[in-house]
């Protein structure tokens, strides 16, 4: 239990375009989803926390108009990087937590495999 | 605010035990976690411990928690090449569902 998937795993785009990354919980209902950004050889930086059906809570310094987060259902959250620029290139990782995780631990974050974004 | 610290690198010989240490500042943490990240991949939850426990063992993994000193360690017995990865210590924010991560310890195995 507690599998989280992300799509795409890798994306290369031109500067100025928008990119959408999907995060899905495959076998549990994710009441809360988290989006992180990870720079090379560094730890994870929490960007925002989203609860199903409500607006995301962004961490200080993260532009909410730049990184649009939608958590429309208990199994899907999306992160859209709008008008991407080379400095947005990074590894983006989502995680999900929920109750009644079969074979897992409730309220613990389970991570997706990450999406490598490269903006040319 | 809360802080979690780890050493950045650890090198051990194959077959030896690895001990990765972590310190944290939030005395009201409820859960403490160890995650493993292999190159180009997401984080895999390895193990966790409740803050009211001192020790937890799971096959080759042993977690020790010294709540007084706010010190957490992960011991990997009989370290194998497949254990090469970055190991993140994390604590769950007592007031919310946020997890605070350490900087990660890169474990390398030498023959």
Tell whether A99 lies on the interface with B, counting CB pairs under 8 A. Answer: no
The segments of chain A whose pLDDT lies below 70 read 1, 99-107
Chain A residue numbers with beta carbons less than 8 Å from the beta carbon of B7 are none
Give just the sign of the alpha carbon dihedral B94, A72, A83, A19: positive
Cβ proximity of A107 and A99 under 8 Å: yes
State whether B43 and A93 contact (CB < 8 Å).
Answer: yes
Strand partners, B57: B62
For residue A6, the model assigns a pLDDT of: 96
Average pLDDT of every residue of chain A = 90
State whether A44 and B88 contact (CB < 8 Å).
Answer: yes
How far, in Å, CA of A107 to CA of A97, rounded?
Answer: 5
List, for residues B26-48, the tens digit of each pLDDT value.
Answer: 878 788 999 999 988 889 999 99
Interface contacts (A, B; CB < 8 Å): 47
Query: Is B73 a residue whose pLDDT tops 90?
Result: yes
For residue B96, the model assigns a pLDDT of: 62
**Min Cα–Cα distance to chain A from B45, Å:** 7
**Min Cα–Cα distance to chain A from B8, Å:** 10
State whether B101 and A111 contact (CB < 8 Å).
Answer: no
Q: Two tokens at B54? A: 């001192």
Render the burial of A10-47: b for 16+ CB within 10 Å, e for the rest. ebebeeeeebebbbbbeebebbbbbbbbbeeeebbbbb
Chain B residue numbers with beta carbons less than 8 Å from the beta carbon of A58 are none
Chain B residue numbers with beta carbons less than 8 Å from the beta carbon of A46 are 98-99
Average pLDDT of every residue of chain B = 91
Grade residue B98 by pLDDT with cuts at 50, 70 and 90.
confident
For residue A105, the model assigns a pLDDT of: 67
């Amino acid at each position: 239990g507690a599998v989280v998937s992300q799509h795409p795993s890798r994306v290369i785009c031109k500067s100025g375009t928008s990119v959408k990354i999907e995060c899905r919980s495959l076998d549990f209902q994710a009441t809360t989803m988290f989006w992180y950004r990870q720079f090379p050889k560094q730890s994870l930086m929490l960007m925002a926390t989203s609860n199903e059906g409500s607006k995301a809570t962004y961490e200080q310094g993260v532009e909410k108009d730049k990184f649009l987060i939608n958590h429309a259902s208990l199994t899907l959250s999306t992160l859209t990087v709008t008008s991407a620029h080379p400095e947005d290139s990074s590894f983006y990782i989502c995680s999900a937590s929920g109750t009644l995780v079969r074979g897992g631990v409730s309220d613990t974050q389970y991570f997706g495999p990450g999406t490598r974004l490269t903006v040319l | 605010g809360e802080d979690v610290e780890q050493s950045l690198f650890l090198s051990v010989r194959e077959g030896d035990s690895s001990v990765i240490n972590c310190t944290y500042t939030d005395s009201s943490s409820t859960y403490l976690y160890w995650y493993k990240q292999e190159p180009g991949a997401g984080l895999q939850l390895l193990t966790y411990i409740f803050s009211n426990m001192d020790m937890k063992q799971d096959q080759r993994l042993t977690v020790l928690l010294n709540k007084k000193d706010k010190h957490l360690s992960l011991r990997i017995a009989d370290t194998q090449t497949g254990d090469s990865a970055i190991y993140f210590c994390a604590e769950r924010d007592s007031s919310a569902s946020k997890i605070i991560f350490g900087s990660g310890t890169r474990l390398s195995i030498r023959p």
